[in-house]
Structure 1
Amino acid sequence: MTATRSTRQRDVISRVLDGAEGPLTVAEVLRRAQADLPGLGIATVYRTLKLLTEQRRIHPVALDGETLYEPSGRGHHHHFSCTHCHRVFTLHSCPLNLPAGHTYPGGFVVEAHEVTLYGRCPQCAAG
């Protein structure tokens, strides 16, 4: 019975992350997963996120000193952090033209880049 519960918890947490508009904090994963599994605890969420990370099904995103999680395999993308509602969204277009191997002024050779834009999301900007 424990193995079945574990699988259900993993499946619900995976679905929560897959359906999110951007990376989620542990607290957001817990809150959204509890809609399907009211008895789900924070320790189970941490264990499951660790397991899914080890399996490379998800990966951590460091943003403003906090770790968020999102599914792996979504390709090159960036994030938008709403300064009003504090949600984080995935942006599928890149605001920079810095491909790997590009030499940045001063002799810096680009291997990769991450960009987070800050402002108000469409919902907060409209209200």
Structure 2
Amino acid sequence: MERNTKQRTAIQQCIADAGRPLSPQEILEHAQGVVPGIGMATIYRNIKAMLEAGDITTVSLPGGGDRYEVSGHGHHHHFHCRSCDRVYEVHACPGDMQKLTPEGFVLESHELTLYGVCSHCR
């Protein structure tokens, strides 16, 4: 059983409060506001433990580093702002992707990432 340290609590709260996937650097910046002196090694160690516990999931973007969000959101997609590099959750889905799948293939899952400029950067 993992210890629930003030660092772990700060990281968990940061990810939960964000409401969007965060990069390790974003997690570090937010957590330092709660626990001054927290370092990147602590961030990565806690991310690993939280992934293993199933508390968070990885959001992998093509050509970008991994982001992390709270588990249990169900099926959703993401919007990646090319200006500020933030990633946001999109809770809509275009629907049946089987019609795009080549004949005879069986679709098991899909991921969709939208790219553009967020409302804050616009």
* TM more than 0.5: yes
SS in 2 for 1:90: strand
Q: After TM superposition, where is structure 1 displaced by more than 3 Å over at least 4 residues in a row?
A: none
- Cα distance in 1 for residues equivalent to 2:117 and 2:78: 13
Given candidates 45, 48, 53, the residue that maps to 1:50 is 48
For structure 2, the 5+ residue unaligned runs are: none
Query: Partner letter of residue 32 of structure 2?
Result: Q
- Cα distance in 2 for residues equivalent to 1:95 and 1:35: 39
SS in 1 for 2:66: strand
Root mean square deviation of aligned Cα: 1.5
Output the TM-score relative to the length of structure 1. 0.85
Output the TM-score relative to the length of structure 2. 0.89
Shift of 1:8: 1.3
Contact kept, 8 Å, 1:79 with 1:117, in 2: the verdict is yes
- Cα distance in 2 for residues equivalent to 1:35 and 1:87: 19
What does residue range 1-127 of structure 1 map to in structure 2 within 5 Å? 7-63=5-61, 64-98=63-97, 102=98, 104-125=101-122
**Greater displacement, 61-70 / 25-34:** 61-70
The total of aligned residue pairs comes to: 118
Aligned residues with identical type, % of pairs:
46
